[in-house]
Amino acid sequence: MDHSNVRSPEGAGDNASPTLSVTVPAWKQPGVISNHRRRVMKGRIVEVLAVLCILAVLLPLGDMIYMFAYRGLQVISIPKLTTITVGSASFVSGGLANAIAGTALLISLAAAITIPIGVLGGVYMSEFSNDSRLSEGLRFAADIMAGNSSIVLGYVGYLVFVLYFGWGYSAAAGALTLSILMFPYVFRTTELALRKVPASIREAAIALGSTKTTMINRLVLRFALPGILTGIILAVGIGLSETAPLLYTALFSNYLPSGALFHEPIGYLTYVVYVYSQLPSNGAHDLAYLSSFLLISAVLVINVVARVGLRKLSKV
Amino acid sequence: MVSALLGSSAFLFLFLTIVVLVIFSYPSFIVNGLGFFTSITWNPSLSGSVVTVNGIRSMSGASFGMLVFFSGTLLSSGLALLIGVPLSLGIAIFLSEVAPQRISNIMSFFVELLAGIPSIVFGFWGFLVLGPFLIHSVEPVMAKYLYFIPYFGGKVYSYGLPASGLILALMTVPIIASISRDAMAQTPIELREAGRALGLTDWEVTRKIVLPSARTAIAGSIVLGLGRALGETMAVVMVSESAVNILPKTFYYPINSIAAFMAQTLDSAFTDPTKMEIYALVELAVVLLLITTTVNVIARLLVRRGFITSAEHVVQV
Amino acid sequence: MLEEEVLMNEENDALRGERQPLKRGEPSDQSAPLIQLTDFSAFYGDVEVLKNINLSIESNKITVVMGPSGCGKSTLVRTLNRMNDEVPGFRIKGKILLDGEDIYAPGVDPVLLKTRVGMVFQKPNPFPISIYDNVAFGPRIHKLAKNKEQLNAIVRESLQYAALWEEVKDRLEKNALGLSGGQQQRLCIARALAVKPEVILMDEPASALDPGATYKVEELMVELKEKYTVVLVTHNMQQAARVGTSVAFLYRGELVEFGAASDVFENPKNPLTEKYIRGIL
């Protein structure tokens, strides 16, 4: 922007008390008051719009929760939760025991794999890595993996575990695929939680003669634990909610998991929502509603635990 | 060190993904060539006979083209952003500037809850509630009154673009809103005070001081949201028909996205004895991987200035 | 000017009895104080941070507010332009009259008030935009200029009056953050002047600056009082003695002493004041 015309032509721009050309204070100038009213009006309109925006988003959320809670609670019963699904297509009855057990198994396996790798990896990034090119690259890779479409991951799982390793549709294939999905979240959140531990604490420990590893184990991890746990819990929530990675790795099964990790398909709740919602039988629809309800409840609990638990633990 | 090795699994996973997808898409790339990227036909031609082209077996008459799904992905994500970005910014402004602290905290919780809802459940709700609502109450009205705008007149067929776009919008809102809210809340208080002391109204402080200060993070969050919308699978599956071989002629035509199509079609591809359809689907996966990776890299460059990426934003600390 | 000095509560009472609310736009009576605090108390929740302050601030003078940490001087100054309204739990009792009108009256708009009472902060806080845009910020918001030439004139004059023009006139489009601390603070002063206030509040404006920059800001303050009314918060007694016309000494929320600068520093009437001046409070 060319400001050469700001200088006064007479060049009388010295500092000694020049007279301001308009000495009337701003609020006395005409138009400022009415303009001001307009400005305040604009602000009010924006406030209303902002409220409308949040309502526009809360409405679907509320409808979703209400609908699935209502139908889910209509359908729920002990038998429904403890018997397995029977039949398929136009005649479905029974319960969700197979799906619930399958989800539980898959998540547990996936967590068992992801947690050590993710947490230790995060520890490495935060404590040992010196922010080198390597660590930047790792973060980059993790971010790319996190941003990937879940079906792409499902394809990878199918091609690698089901086909190439020859495991067939199995809990192992599903769990491993899930763990690849969950890994970036645990990895990054652990690193973040560890970085939040103040440097002063680390320095105090070193100054007292502690070795680096002891300091980390005893002190830093304890401080960062709430953050790490929250990351794990939230990653579990993400794993619970996934369908696509499991479609072609775990397939589905009407039977309770037998403990075989290979060559045996396994059921899971999200599949029930996906497929049974489209089947012609009312029994199937009931199961789909119930699964949705269970899934939403699980997510709700996870969110509450993560938020509240984190706040409480952080105050220690 | 053990942890170094384990941490490097990030590389391992990424590398594995890329290698596997490239290997299994290669046959399709050879056979379909550049036509894959320009053709709207997806024809596995399963009733034909097997032929060998360039040493690779495929069904005669089989030809695979991704254009329908590619455009479906772009259209649905574009619509999602068109609706989602203003909505998210409104919410971010509400949470950061308008609402008192307590209400803001409660509302933030609900926004995060929205983020956690499984996408299949979202899709189920879309199938039960949003889709029917749109095709019975909204789209006919739109078609009736907006017929003079190209693309907006005509018959309403089934769920298609509006439903997908809206569902995707709802799924990107938490990402954009929460990152933007955090960025806005971190505006240095001295700048806000300076503005206030000059006689700015609250909205003017927001518009002229807070939003400019947060603009890089906001832009990054939008790109992250785009990445999410592009890759979203199950929600779109539930509200789109298996539209194949036609590009949408109007706003109300059924559409299909790359991710949704991949999820829907793989099992039928198993019946292809030459496996060519599988390879073609994997080639689709490569395309999708490239798209989401590019978008994420852009987001990372924007959000790089000491802020957070989508993986970290899972934890709202 | 001795007869216009207002010492303590008794004379305030007398003046208060005669006060008539003035209509906007009429010139104020030169002999009456521009800002008048009457039995003014301020609370953060249950804590009373300002106790029954009676204070007169005169036009075209520099009124210094001093006291030990936590005495409420910043709070006091921020009540004058209602910057404290944002603080949760903030309430007031009593009145503050600007030109005869209570600024805390129900109908008063705090935003408009800030165009009459401007503020400069302890830490310079220019916006991360160009020097020109910083100064033009206020005038643009309040639409004080009808066209580009007028805006240019306002910017130029404000920068001249803030003794910054010569240093920046060739680089107005450069980002303000590239200026030194002292220059940034003078820019903030220019920015406040551009809105043409009547009163300028300065909350320890030089405490973050080096001595050379401090000197320039103090010089500026003395010039400013020709056209404006300045209320200065400082903990630097030498500065107060150098530039102050009147000094108000605050201790734990109470106005302990008020008078001409020379009087307060050389013949403090209150033992607390004396202790503070001697550095043993």
8 Å CB contact of A13 and C196:
no
> H helices within A248-309, ranges in order?
269-271, 282-304
Q: Which fold has domain A78-314?
A: MetI-like fold (1.10.3720)
Taking residues B256-266, report their average pLDDT: 91
Cβ-defined contact of B213 to C125 (cutoff 8 Å): no
Neighbours of chain C (3+ CB pairs under 8 A): A, B
Question: Looking at this predicted complex, what is its ipTM?
Answer: 0.89
Q: In the structure encoding, which two tokens stand for residue C269, read together?
A: 């009437």
Distance CA A269, CA A287 (A): 9
> C111 at the B interface (CB within 8 A)?
yes
CA distance B234 to chain A (A): 7
Whether C123 has its CB under 8 Å from any CB of chain B: the answer is yes
Euclidean distance between CA atoms A176 and A164, whole angstroms: 14
Cα separation, C30 vs B202, in Å, equals 35
Q: Mean pLDDT, consecutive 10-residue segments, chain A of 316 residues?
A: 46 38 56 76 93 95 94 84 72 82 93 92 81 82 90 94 90 94 91 84 75 69 85 92 92 83 88 90 88 94 84 63
Neighbours of chain B (3+ CB pairs under 8 A): A, C
The pLDDT-based confidence of B226 (bands split at 50, 70, 90) is: very high
CATH of C2-277, one of 3.30.70.2190, 3.10.290.10, 3.40.50.300, 3.10.180.10: 3.40.50.300
Q: Which residues of A touch C (CB under 8 A)?
A: 1, 3, 5-8, 13-15, 17-18, 20-29, 31-33, 35-36, 39-40
The two structure tokens encoding residue B88: 């998210």
Instruction: Spell out the domain ranges in chain C.
Output: 2-277
CA–centroid distance for B280 within its chain: 21
Tell me what pLDDT residue A7 has. Answer: 45
Question: From A146, which residue of chain B is nearest by alpha-carbon distance?
Answer: B311
- The beta-carbon neighbor of B191 closest among C115, C127, C191 is C127
Q: Are residues B223 and B302 in contact, defined by beta-carbon separation less than 8 angstroms?
A: yes
User: Distance between CA atoms of A278 and B120, rounded to whole angstroms?
Assistant: 12
How far apart CA A13 and CA C167 sit, in angstroms, is 11
Query: Partners of A142 in the beta sheet?
Result: none
B261 neighbourhood in chain A, CB within 8 Å: none
Domain ranges in chain A are: 36-75, 78-314
Q: How confident is the model at residue B25 (pLDDT cuts 50, 70, 90)?
A: confident
Least Cα separation, residue C268 to chain B (angstroms):
34
Contact check, Cβ <8 Å, A39/C141: yes
Annotate chain B with DSSP letters as a single string. -HHHHHHTHHHHHHHHHHHHHHHHHHHHHHHHTTHHHH---EE--TTS-EEEETTEEEETT-EE--HHHHHHHHHHHHHHHHHHHHHHHHHHHIIIIIS-HHHHHHHHHHHHHHHHS-HHHHHHHIIIIIHHHIIIIIHHHHHHHSTTSTTS-S---SSHHHHHHHHHHHHHHHHHHHHHHHHHHTS-HHHHHHHHHTT--HHHHIIIIIHHHHHHHHHHHHHHHHHHHHH--HHHHHHS----S----STTS----HHHHHHHHHHHHTT-TT-HHHHHHHHHHHHHHHHHHHHHHHHHHHHTTT---TTGGGS--
The residue of chain A with its CA nearest to that of C151 is: A6
Closest CA to C48 of C82, C73, C72, C79: C72
Q: How far separated are the first and last CA of chain A, in Å rounded? A: 55
Q: Does C177 touch chain B (CB under 8 A)?
A: no
Side chain identity at residue B34, one-letter code: L
The torsion angles phi and psi of B195, rounded to 5 degrees, stand at -65, -45
B38 domain residue, yes or no: no
- Burial-class residue C41 by CB neighbours within 10 Å (0-12, 13-18, 19+): middle
SS3 A104: helix
Q: Is residue B7 part of a domain?
A: no
- C175 and B CB contact within 8 Å: no
Domain residue limits at B126: 69-259+294-314
- H/E element, C92: strand C90-98
Q: How many domains does chain B have?
A: 1
Residue B48 lies in a domain: no
The reported pLDDT for the residue numbered A1 is 46
CA distances from A304 to A68, A74, A202, B49, B101 (A): 19, 24, 31, 57, 18
CA distance B12 to B16: 6
Q: CA B247, CA B263: separation in Å to the nearest integer?
A: 20
Per-residue confidence of chain C (281 residues) as pLDDT tens digits?
333 333 333 344 333 333 333 333 444 445 567 899 999 999 998 999 999 999 999 999 999 999 988 888 999 999 999 998 888 889 999 999 998 889 998 888 888 889 889 999 999 999 999 999 999 999 998 888 889 999 999 999 999 999 899 999 999 999 999 999 999 999 999 999 999 899 999 999 998 899 988 999 999 999 998 889 999 999 888 899 899 999 999 999 999 999 998 888 888 888 888 888 888 87
Residue of C nearest to B100 (CA): C88
The predicted structure's pLDDT at residue A61: 95
SS (H, E, C) B199-233: CCCHHHHHHHHHHHHHHHHHHHHHHHHHHHHHHCC
Q: Do B233 and A187 touch (CB under 8 A)?
A: no
Find the angle CA(A236)-CA(A149)-CA(B166) to the nearest 5 degrees: 95
Distance of alpha carbon A157 from alpha carbon B262, whole angstroms: 14
pTM above 0.80, yes or no: yes
B9 → closest Cβ in A58, A121, A146: A121
Question: Considering only residues 92 to 111 of chain C, which have any Cβ-Cβ distance to chain A shorter than 8 Å?
Answer: 109, 111
> Looking at chain A, which residue has its C-alpha nearest residue C160?
A15
Contacts of A10 in chain C (CB under 8 A): none
Query: In whole angstroms, what is the distance from residue B227 CA to residue B278 CA?
Result: 25
Contact A303 B91 (CB under 8 A): no
Amino acid occupying residue C68: P
Interface A–B counts its CB contacts (< 8 A) at: 284
Q: Please write the tens of the pLDDT for every residue from B157-166.
A: 778 889 999 9
CATH number of the domain enclosing B207: 1.10.3720.10
Residue type, A57: V
Distance from CA of A198 to the nearest CA of C (A): 26
Instruction: Identify the helix (H) or strand (E) that includes residue C149.
Output: helix C148-161
CA angle B198, B201, B207 (to 5 degrees): 100
Residue among C112, C119, C142 whose CB faces B197 most closely: C119
Query: Given A8, A25, A36, which is nearest C196 (Cβ)?
Result: A25
Tokens of A211: 């070795």
Contact B197 C83 (CB under 8 A): yes
How far, in Å, CA of C196 to CA of C138, rounded?
9
Gap between the Cα atoms of C146 and B116, Å rounded: 52
B198/C114 CB distance under 8 A: yes
Distance, in Å, from the CA atom of A294 to the CA atom of A298, rounded to the nearest integer, reads 6
Largest CA distance in chain A: 96
Contacts of B262 in chain A (CB under 8 A): 151-152, 155
Q: What amino acid is encoded at C22 in this protein? A: L
The residues, ordered by sequence, that sit 6+ positions from B27 with a Cβ below 8 Å of its Cβ are B56, B275, B276, B279
| Helix, coil or strand: residue A133 | helix
- Using a CB-CB cut-off of 8 Å, the residues of chain A touching C144 are 26, 29, 32
Is B51 contained in some domain? no
Residues of chain A with pLDDT > 70, as a percent, come to 84
**The predicted structure's pLDDT at residue B204:** 92
Cα distances from C101 to residues A32, C11, C191, in angstroms, run 19, 19, 26
pLDDT digits (tens, 9 = 90+) for B30-49: 888 888 888 888 887 777 77
Q: What is the pLDDT averaged over residues B103-125?
A: 93
C111 contacts in chain A (CB < 8 Å): 36, 39-40
Name every chain A residue with its beta carbon within 8 A of the beta carbon of B203: 39, 42-43, 46-47
Q: What number of residues does chain B have?
A: 317
Distance from CA of B229 to the nearest CA of A (A): 9
Are B125 and A63 inside 8 Å of each other by CB?
A: yes
Tell me how far CA of residue C269 lies from CA of A143, B248, C64, C239, C275, in angstroms.
69, 89, 17, 21, 11
Query: How far does A12 lie from chain B, in Å, by closest CA?
Result: 28
> Is A3 within 8 Å of C132 (Cβ atoms)?
yes
Q: Are A21 and C144 within 8 A, CB to CB?
A: no
Per CB-CB distance under 8 Å, the chain A contacts of B16 are 156, 160
Q: What is the largest CA-CA distance in chain B?
A: 80
Q: Kindly list the residues from chain B whose CB atom is less than 8 angstroms away from the CB atom of residue C122.
A: none
- Specify if B214 maps to a domain: yes
Residue (of C60, C56, C103, C58) closest to C84 by Cα position? C103
For residue A273, give both structure tokens: 């929502």
Contacts of B204 in chain C (CB under 8 A): 141
Ramachandran angles phi, psi of B137, nearest 5°: -105, -35
- Predicted local confidence at residue A20, as pLDDT: 41
DSSP assignments along C50-84, one per residue: EEEEEEEE-TTSEEEEE-STTSSHHHHHHHHTTGG
Q: Which of B190, B201, B208 sits opposite C121 (nearest CB)?
A: B190
Check if the beta carbon of residue C155 is closer than 8 Å to that of residue C136: yes
Question: Which residues lie below 8 Å from residue A224, measured CB to CB, with a gap of 6+?
Answer: A190, A193, A194, A196, A197
Please say whether the beta carbons of C91 and C172 come within 8 A. Answer: no
| Kind of pairing between the strands at C62-66 and C35-44 | unpaired
Dist CA C55 CA C38 (whole Å): 7
Q: Which residues of A touch C23 (CB under 8 A)?
A: none
- Is residue B266 assigned to a domain? no
> Residue C169 to residues A217, A248, C49, C144, C164: CA-CA distances in angstroms?
59, 69, 44, 21, 8
Strand partners, B159: none
CB neighbour burial string for C137-148, b if at least 16 within 10 angstroms, e if fewer:
bbbebbebbeee
Pick from A24, A25, A36: which is nearest to C111 by CB?
A36
Asked if A277 and B295 come within 8 Å (Cβ–Cβ), the reply is no
